[in-house]
Amino acid sequence: MTSRIIPEDLIAEQVAGVDARVQGGPYADEAVEVRRAARFLDTLVERLGLRGPATSLTPPTGKPQYLLRLADSSGAPVVLKVYGRRRPAEAAVQRVWREHGVPTAKVLAHGDEPVSWLLMAELPGAPPATGSAELTPALARLMAHAHQVDIGAVPGTTRLFDAVARHLRAVAAAAAAHGYPMPEDLTDRSQALMTDGPRLCLHGDLTPVNLLVEGGSIHVLDTCGYVGPPEFDAARWCARVGGAGRARELLARWLAVETELDATRAAGLLALELVMEAGVREIVKDERGQDASAPDPATEALLAAAIAVDAP
C-alpha cells in the first residue's frame, strides 16, 4: 500500500516516464530501479516522520529516482531523494563540501540500505531557465573551491572512467548505428584522459538542472562521487551548455578562472564530451522511437566541433 502522503499518481507518473524512456534499450535495468525506489518510499516517510502533502521536484527526464518536497515533524520544508540503487558517496561528498564552504544542500540524514537516499534542507532558488552559459565564470569559481577540498577516504567514490564507460559505449554505439563515424580509439582515449592527472573529487554531472540559482548565488546539487581530473567538470559543463557553437569559448572562460587546470587535458575532455553529446542525441532517438535515417545537422555540428577542438 502506498502512503497517502505520496500520491499514487505521482509514483505512477515517474514509473511511466522511466518506462517510456528506456523501452528495453541499454538502460532497461532502470525500469527495475524506479520500481525499487517506489517500494521504499513509504518506509522512509514513516521512519523519518515526514509530513505531506508531497510534491515532485523530479526533473522530467525519466530518471530512476524520486525527488520530493515534504515537511519534517516541525513543519520545516525538506527534500527527500530516493534512488533505486546504491549511490553511497553523494551524501558524504555534499557534507564535506558544505563543511568547507562549498554551497550545496545540507544533508540532514541519509542511508544506503537497501537503496541510497538523502534527506536535505530545502534551498531557495530554481534551476536556471535561460542564460546558463553566462553562469560559467561564477560556476568555475565555485568548482575551483570544491576541487581544492580534500574529501579524504569517502566510501563509495568511483573512478571517473569506471563510472562513465557504460554510457560512453552506449551512446557511441547508437551514433555508429545511425551512420555517424566514431573515433576508433574512443574508449582508449577516454580512459587515458580520465585517469591522467590528479585524482580529485568531482561533481561529475554539471548541468543546469543540477544547479539552484537565487539572485547572484549558485548552489550545486546531485554530486556523483566521481574521482578524477578536475578538467572533466569544466568540459562537461561547457559541452552541455555551450554545444557546438560556444563550447570552446565557455571553456576558455572557465580556464581563465580555474587557472590550475591543465588546458590540454581540458581540451581533450571537451572534445570527448562533444562526441558524447552527439551520441546522446542519437540514443534519445532510439528511446523515443524516432526515425534516425536522415543526417541530423545538430549531431554533425557536435562531431565537427569535437574535431575542431582536437585539431593541432
User: What digits encode the pLDDT tens for the residues 176-213?
Assistant: 999 999 988 899 999 999 998 888 999 999 999 999 99
pTM value is 0.93
Residue 152 has pLDDT above 80, yes or no: no
In the chain the first and final C-alpha atoms are separated, in Å, by: 61
C-alpha–C-alpha distance, residues 47 and 69, integer Å: 16
C-alpha–C-alpha distance, residues 220 and 206, integer Å: 8
C-alpha–C-alpha distance, residues 112 and 78, integer Å: 19
pLDDT of res. 3: 52
pLDDT in tens, 270-286: 999 999 999 999 999 98
Residue 251 has pLDDT above 90, yes or no: yes
- Owner of C-alpha cell 545538430: 298
In the predicted model, what is the mean pLDDT of the chain?
92
Burial 126-162 (b: 16+ CB within 10 A, else e): eebeeebbebbeebbebbbebbebebeebeebbebbe
pLDDT in tens, 87-118: 888 998 999 999 999 999 999 999 988 899 99
Local confidence band at 120 (pLDDT 50, 70, 90 cut-offs): very high
Residue ranges and CATH numbers for the domains of the chain are 8-121 (3.30.200.20), 132-310 (3.90.1200.10)
C-alpha–C-alpha distance, residues 101 and 137, integer Å: 18
Q: Is 67 helix (H, G, I), strand (E, B) or coil?
A: strand
